[in-house]
Structure 1
Amino acid sequence: MDAHPQAFDACLKEALAQTREWVPRWLDKLHATLKEKELSARHSNDKQSLVEARTALDTHRDLMASRFIEALADAVGNALPGTDVQPRVAKTVSFDELELMGDDQVQETVELARVQQVVSMTVDHEIVELTARLCTTLGMQVVNVEANPLRADVVVGALMKTLKGLNLAPAVRSRWLQTGAIPLGNELQGLYTRLSAMLDRQGIEAAGYAVIQSPDARPGGGDSTLGRRTNAPQEEALGTETLLTLDHLHQLLVGNLEQPDDESQRHPGTLGTSNAMVRTLASEVVSLMLKQISTDERLLRPLREMLQDMKPALLQVARTDPRFFADRENPARRLLDAITEHSLAYTHEQDRGYATFSRHVRGIIDALQKPGADLADRFPGLLQNFNRSQTEAMAPEQVQARGLAVKTLVRVEQRNLLAERVAAEFRSRNDFNRAPGVVRRFLTGPWAQVVAQARLEVSNATGLNTSEVPSMRYTDILPDLLWSSQLALASLNRPRLVKIIPGVLRTLRDGLDSIDYPREQTEAFFQTLMGLHEAAYKTQRAEPLQDAQPSVQGEFDVEPWMQPAEARDTGFMDDAFPESHPETHPSFVDTQPMQRDWVQLKAELAAQPVSDLSVGTWVDMWQEGQAVRCQITWASPHGTLFLFSGANGRSLSMTRRGLDRLIEQDKLRVVADHGVVNEALDEVTRQAWLNSIKTDGI
């Protein structure tokens, strides 16, 4: 589909021009509505707050209009497709974020959510039409909501930014937002209608909406439930409780709801634990958390059912320690985290180790269900036993293999990072750029690995300075190698050429053998080099010859190189998924010049989004048409290499670029990058957020 950038730019220009008309009109409507409410208010407190809101609007009206228009222009510019600073108004707030927020931030979050909901409902039809046409102007065949920089959340975000800059009293700001939400939606409704009509007159048709593939559709025909959460609406999954609001949950987390009562006065160490409000809210959080876990289809059904049997014990803990679920070090929270974490390893009840794991979980629940006043004291011992059982479940040879893999990957990263510095040393030589491209690529590829390996071995063994070790012979041949590869120079001094060739070739062979570099990978290089030497020997000219223009090509690998033995020890993914990775060894065959400078290309690659997966993340990788559940158990210090471990004990490694490649090809999907309990608590927070929007006040 052809793009129409002129129509897109004209639409945005017209939208910003119209803000100078509808923003003052919206403020007039806000003022009139406040006046009407003031006249009809029955209670003096309501009337007084409305008077204050209207008076403040009279005072700030002109400043409000100018700043809102300015903020809208900035917000729309930042939200343009392709910009690096596109604003993202969060649809909700996470559990961890809520605990760190102040009361004003919580109130602002709720106010923002309410305004966005009202405005979005008002402009629902009009924004769909405008977005579809704007996507067409950008050459998109399928609608992308984020491509519309005029969407409602951008406008509401600009409004909130403007209000924060006016230093208003929270009560005044709340009145303006509550009263002005519907008029704002009406103004945007009209704006979107006019802009859509404008694009329609220019012949811009609406792009289509994509049909979202259901989670059951998996490449390769793997298990359809792998990595899948429930499709049921979350509001239904969590119930319709309205007691838990965002403010109440926040106050519970920071401890502001606790009040001393008769029992706490008799027992100072139990301040607030008998407070009915605290106990009720804590119990509701636990209930909602477990209900969310019960719908999480990443866990096998029998495990989800067993976890629900923990509810009585967790509710009892909540009565004595209302915020245990927010304390990651609390034994009860840690036990729940550990069980759900290990549960992600199994995708079928027939998986190896599942039966033993299931028995351990059942034993924990049975122990928690026994009556007694020592319930809280049982969790530390149960946690310790569970962790020990998981460690013992791994065979000794698997533990050794994993340790060897980690040690090997550390060495690989060290060598590759040093090889990059060695390659930079080579490039800084005055005679480097005059050499043919095939020689330059060899030096900054495998030969940099040879020098780096030699320096590491001697440094680790003796601690000597690298300038004093025998490995310097690998760099001592550089002048002869670079000189002999230049036909114009080497042909002028045949005796020197004959003298140095045997030593250069012998040193090159020895160096490559020292790192077990496959000879077949460098055979083309040696043939080319010997061809250059032969041509120089046979050429006799009085005047120096001009060497052929060196080819321009990347001179070093973009991802770490491994020795064959290292690849075997780490289960390198080139062996597991050869179709997913091109050859990682450098190519030394002379090729046509690249269309773009290598430095520019490398910068573009660095700017592309890359994987940002942390240790502990569970993923599904597709191998031979089946999904294999693995966990990232180790990442190298510089983030260039990753080690994965499966429930079957097998370890696999890959480079960062290899990981990105699998993600791009949809052969690797993240199952869980946060703990199951963390995500359940985030969903509890979202439910509290929704409850807050539904209420008139908190």
Structure 2
Amino acid sequence: MAGATPQPQYHSLYRACIKDAAIAGGDLMRATLVRALSELPLQAAAIHDVVDRNLLLEAVGVLKERQSALATAFPQALLAEFAQAIAGDRDASLSFDTLPLLGDEQLQENAELVHGAQALEAAVRPQLAALESALAAAHLTPQGGERRHPLRPEVYARSIYRLARQSPVSPAVRRRWLRYLPPLMAPELVHTYAAMAQRLQPPAPSQPMALEPGVPQEARDSATQLTIRELRKLLSGDPGEAADDGVIVFSDSDFSHTVPAALEMVQDMRKVDQLLLQLRQRQAAMPGRGRDSLAAFREALRQEAKRPAQALGLEVVHLMIDHLAGDPRLLPGVRDIVRDLEPPLLRLALVDPRFFSDREHAARRLLEQITQRSLAWSSPEDRGFSTFMEGLQQATEALLDAGGTGPEAFEIALSALQEAWDESQPKGRRNRERAVRALMRAEQRNLLAGRIAQQILDRPDAAKAPPEALAFLTGPWSQVMAQARLADVTGAEDPGGGWWVVQAVLWSVQPALAGRVAGQHRTLVARIDDGLASIDHLPADTDRWQNLLSALRDLALSTATGSALRAHEPEPVPETSNTWLAPIEMHESGFVPDSGLPHGAADPDTLPPHDLEVGAYVDLLGEGWERWQLTWASPHGLLFMFTHASGTTRSMTRRKLNAMMAQGSLRLVSAHPVVDGALDAVARAAWRNSSSL
């Protein structure tokens, strides 16, 4: 799905489906509660444990008391969860790195939530499959997997969790709501899914889209016996469970005492061809190169594990690699490299559990750099990808040949890759640095210009000034005054005499005041020309402003009172942007102007979605779709800069960014590190296993 282009005619229909689903949340919850009050007492009667039976009956009693309030509040909870899911759902989903922070109560609640969500999904699976097929056919599936759409059963279950957390009930009652209520939603959700699938059905038969390559999710999850408690022990470095520092899996490896020659050579990229030849000659004898040998290698390491945490570490690495190798955002060559890294990562996991708990661990940073940097290309044919892969393959081969068990090999491989990548893009690095300097300068000037513009509007003599004159003073002229202040080193109160121009313009365009500055016309024109030249204002725009102000002055002088009709209208106000850049700043940063945006199309004060953070990859639509990375955002959020794999930069205002996202000409590819997502998937599999115990 990563390369599919959404069908525009389905966008509004899809949004309507989501909106209607949220509105229908009240009726859905009312029906669910009626079913709960009828069926749960019968289920309680079948529970042999007296305590559990009474707790379920208590939960039913609280449901009855709060029936109306829960039905009223559920649409808002559902809408909030839809929003979380649309934004990427990372905050709402289980994160690998947050496991050590969860208390026992949270663990129990999440286990009940997972259990309830699974039961709901099982009850609606046929209708869910039909809906997901319709979403795929309309190219509305989110990047990264068919099962990440906001309408999935898990989101409905999480809405109950949100509602339960907001209700004044005991933890014991809340846990039973989380377990028993989601499956009772199934009859209504079946009808909801069927109706949505019908609405999204294309008018003519279309070719079914291929599902995400790799192992099915159910098969992946069933392959692990991880539970959350075990995983949390592994992450916390429990001394009783951690790997034994004295365990050496490969006794023939003396990496901790001497750096292998292969890694010394890879640091000198000029010798890399000789190194690659040597490694290829020994490639057949290396462990884990084929499917059968890799399986045998995993089994051999499992036999070497002497503690439970070691076995768990091996399992986490295997599942993480499995998820990464099935990630459709990674190009096939990169997925092959990831598979090749499994043997050294397995060896590492056996002796160094810090890989899981330390985000700065060399092996984790290496894996993250490989996967994240590879997202800069959407096709193997893209310019620069072959160079990227050459360095990556060379360092990977050397790492495999080293056979070390500690983090040092990964540190050296990472340094070698970083050096190779830096050497291949010196121009790109200089371009980014120059662009950032230009944008920082522009933002600083724009912020100061905004304050000056407000001071101009607050003046008493500005109250009756024509809007065209105010547009000039609060637009280009406030930029001139801001630039003069930033460049001034003398501490002058009014560097450049900008406030004199403000007063002269305001008086010259108002009939009641124009006579006071009637003899200063030529001086005013010269001051304006010099000021606009100081910020490299385009001469054509300068002429248009001068003509407009001249027409306003003529009208003011020829009018006896402010209420007289104008003899002729001045030229239209030149188009301006909330955030202005000088031509040289636009050139250095690849600035995309705001021109062409309909007024009000994107609120300039609206921040982009929280998922669009520095480091995120996006596809931008120009002559075709191109892959860019958000590499810089200004401190005050006025300007954003994207970088292409070629080193080219493109920048835009917040208003332009929001407009492109709303128009669909900017689409998110990856908001968070790929490795983090794979580890989070392992954690979710552990949750599922925990809930089945």
Aligned to 1:252: 234
Q: Letter of the aligned partner of 2:613 in structure 1?
A: S
Deviates more, 1:473-482 or 1:71-80: 71-80
Q: Are the aligned partners of 1:229 and 1:295 in contact in 2 as well (CA < 8 Å)?
A: no
1:507 to 2:527 alignment:
yes
Q: Are the aligned partners of 1:317 and 1:376 in contact in 2 as well (CA < 8 Å)?
A: yes
Q: Are the aligned partners of 2:313 and 2:353 in contact in 1 as well (CA < 8 Å)?
A: yes
Aligned to 1:136: none
Q: Could you say if the C-alpha distance between residues 419 and 57 of structure 1 is closer, same or farther in structure 2, counting changes exceeding 3 Å?
A: same
Superposed displacement of residue 568, structure 1: 1.2
Q: Could you say if the C-alpha distance between residues 52 and 337 of structure 1 is closer, same or farther in structure 2, counting changes exceeding 3 Å?
A: same
Q: Determine which of 674, 677, 685 is the counterpart of 2:675.
A: 677
Distance in 2 separating the partners of 1:90 and 1:260:
29
Deviations 1:659-691 (A, max 9, x none): 222223322222222222112212222333333
Q: Could you say if the C-alpha distance between residues 544 and 671 of structure 1 is closer, same or farther in structure 2, counting changes exceeding 3 Å?
A: closer
Superposed displacement of residue 447, structure 1: 0.7
Q: Are the aligned partners of 2:603 and 2:655 in contact in 1 as well (CA < 8 Å)?
A: no
1:570 to 2:596 alignment:
no
Deviations 1:508-564 (A, max 9, x none): 11111111111322433322322233334445x5x775477999x999955321111
Q: Are the aligned partners of 1:432 and 1:482 in contact in 2 as well (CA < 8 Å)?
A: yes
Q: Determine which of 425, 447, 450 is the counterpart of 2:480.
A: 450
Deviates more, 1:405-414 or 1:347-356: 347-356
Q: Could you say if the C-alpha distance between residues 425 and 110 of structure 1 is closer, same or farther in structure 2, counting changes exceeding 3 Å?
A: same
Q: Letter of the aligned partner of 2:634 in structure 1?
A: S
Aligned to 1:619: 618
Deviations 1:551-582 (A, max 9, x none): 9x9999553211111111222234xxxxxx42
Aligned to 1:209: 200
Distance in 1 separating the partners of 2:212 and 2:646:
26
Q: What are the equivalent positions in structure 2 for 1:197-596 lying under 5 Å apart? A: 208-209=199-200, 230=212, 234-235=216-217, 238=220, 240-256=222-238, 258-259=240-241, 275-370=306-401, 375-395=406-426, 397-458=427-488, 462=489, 464-467=490-493, 469-471=494-496, 473-490=497-514, 493=515, 496-539=516-559, 541=560, 545-546=563-564, 559-574=578-593, 581-582=594-595
Q: Letter of the aligned partner of 1:465 in structure 2?
A: G
Q: Are the aligned partners of 1:116 and 1:156 in contact in 2 as well (CA < 8 Å)?
A: no
1:71 to 2:70 alignment:
yes
Distance in 1 separating the partners of 2:28 and 2:373:
53
Superposed displacement of residue 205, structure 1: 12
Q: Could you say if the C-alpha distance between residues 547 and 677 of structure 1 is closer, same or farther in structure 2, counting changes exceeding 3 Å?
A: same
Superposed displacement of residue 324, structure 1: 0.8
Q: Letter of the aligned partner of 2:237 in structure 1?
A: G
Q: Could you say if the C-alpha distance between residues 544 and 633 of structure 1 is closer, same or farther in structure 2, counting changes exceeding 3 Å?
A: closer
Distance in 2 separating the partners of 1:479 and 1:147:
59
Distance in 2 separating the partners of 1:603 and 1:304:
38
Q: What are the equivalent positions in structure 2 for 1:645-664 lying under 5 Å apart? A: 645-664=643-662
Identity percentage of aligned residues:
31
Q: Are the aligned partners of 1:229 and 1:298 in contact in 2 as well (CA < 8 Å)?
A: no
Q: Could you say if the C-alpha distance between residues 555 and 441 of structure 1 is closer, same or farther in structure 2, counting changes exceeding 3 Å?
A: farther
Distance in 2 separating the partners of 1:291 and 1:206:
31
Deviations 1:414-454 (A, max 9, x none): 00111100100000011112011110111111111111111
Distance in 2 separating the partners of 1:371 and 1:313:
9
Q: Could you say if the C-alpha distance between residues 435 and 114 of structure 1 is closer, same or farther in structure 2, counting changes exceeding 3 Å?
A: same
Aligned to 2:638: 640
Deviations 1:30-52 (A, max 9, x none): 333333332xxxxxxxxxxx111
1:55 to 2:54 alignment:
yes
1:94 to 2:119 alignment:
no
Secondary structure of 2:314's aligned partner: helix
Distance in 2 separating the partners of 1:616 and 1:216:
35
Q: Letter of the aligned partner of 1:680 in structure 2?
A: A
Distance in 2 separating the partners of 1:676 and 1:602:
33
Distance in 2 separating the partners of 1:431 and 1:653:
38
Distance in 1 separating the partners of 2:128 and 2:362:
49
Q: Letter of the aligned partner of 2:109 in structure 1?
A: E
Aligned to 1:103: 104
Distance in 1 separating the partners of 2:236 and 2:206:
38
Distance in 2 separating the partners of 1:389 and 1:370:
19
Aligned to 2:605: 606
Secondary structure of 1:621's aligned partner: strand
Which consecutive unaligned segments of at least 5 residues does structure 1 have?
A: 39-49, 131-144, 197-203, 218-223, 266-272, 575-580, 585-593
Distance in 2 separating the partners of 1:250 and 1:216:
44
Distance in 2 separating the partners of 1:214 and 1:386:
48
Q: Could you say if the C-alpha distance between residues 565 and 9 of structure 1 is closer, same or farther in structure 2, counting changes exceeding 3 Å?
A: closer
Secondary structure of 1:634's aligned partner: strand
Distance in 2 separating the partners of 1:230 and 1:208:
24
Q: Letter of the aligned partner of 2:579 in structure 1?
A: P
Aligned to 1:201: none
Deviations 1:626-645 (A, max 9, x none): x3322222222112222222
Q: Are the aligned partners of 1:299 and 1:344 in contact in 2 as well (CA < 8 Å)?
A: yes
Q: Could you say if the C-alpha distance between residues 288 and 157 of structure 1 is closer, same or farther in structure 2, counting changes exceeding 3 Å?
A: same
Q: Are the aligned partners of 2:25 and 2:74 in contact in 1 as well (CA < 8 Å)?
A: no
Secondary structure of 2:667's aligned partner: strand
Superposed displacement of residue 123, structure 1: 6.2
Q: Determine which of 141, 146, 161 is the counterpart of 1:157.
A: 161
Q: Could you say if the C-alpha distance between residues 438 and 76 of structure 1 is closer, same or farther in structure 2, counting changes exceeding 3 Å?
A: same
Q: Could you say if the C-alpha distance between residues 352 and 440 of structure 1 is closer, same or farther in structure 2, counting changes exceeding 3 Å?
A: same
Secondary structure of 1:630's aligned partner: strand
Distance in 1 separating the partners of 2:110 and 2:384:
45
Q: Letter of the aligned partner of 1:675 in structure 2?
A: P
Deviates more, 1:554-563 or 1:51-60: 554-563
Deviates more, 1:501-510 or 1:313-322: 501-510
Q: TM-score, normalised by structure 1?
A: 0.73
Aligned to 2:41: 31
Secondary structure of 1:643's aligned partner: strand
Which consecutive unaligned segments of at least 5 residues does structure 2 have?
A: 1-11, 132-148, 248-303
Superposed displacement of residue 320, structure 1: 0.5
Q: What are the equivalent positions in structure 2 for 1:104-143 lying under 5 Å apart? A: 104-122=105-123
Q: Could you say if the C-alpha distance between residues 481 and 113 of structure 1 is closer, same or farther in structure 2, counting changes exceeding 3 Å?
A: same
Deviations 1:396-418 (A, max 9, x none): x4433332211111100000111
Q: Letter of the aligned partner of 2:343 in structure 1?
A: P
Distance in 2 separating the partners of 1:573 and 1:498:
41
Secondary structure of 1:328's aligned partner: coil
Q: Are the aligned partners of 1:67 and 1:162 in contact in 2 as well (CA < 8 Å)?
A: no
Q: Could you say if the C-alpha distance between residues 24 and 373 of structure 1 is closer, same or farther in structure 2, counting changes exceeding 3 Å?
A: closer
Distance in 2 separating the partners of 1:527 and 1:604:
31
Superposed displacement of residue 14, structure 1: 6.9
Q: Are the aligned partners of 2:117 and 2:183 in contact in 1 as well (CA < 8 Å)?
A: no
Secondary structure of 2:353's aligned partner: coil
Q: What are the equivalent positions in structure 2 for 1:165-204 lying under 5 Å apart? A: 165-168=169-172, 180=180, 185-186=183-184, 188=185
Distance in 2 separating the partners of 1:263 and 1:538:
93
Distance in 2 separating the partners of 1:261 and 1:404:
48
Q: Are the aligned partners of 1:344 and 1:618 in contact in 2 as well (CA < 8 Å)?
A: yes
Superposed displacement of residue 486, structure 1: 1.5
Superposed displacement of residue 299, structure 1: 2.7
Distance in 2 separating the partners of 1:614 and 1:517:
32
Q: Could you say if the C-alpha distance between residues 262 and 328 of structure 1 is closer, same or farther in structure 2, counting changes exceeding 3 Å?
A: closer
Q: Letter of the aligned partner of 2:105 in structure 1?
A: D
Aligned to 1:142: none
Q: Letter of the aligned partner of 2:157 in structure 1?
A: D
Q: Could you say if the C-alpha distance between residues 611 and 126 of structure 1 is closer, same or farther in structure 2, counting changes exceeding 3 Å?
A: closer
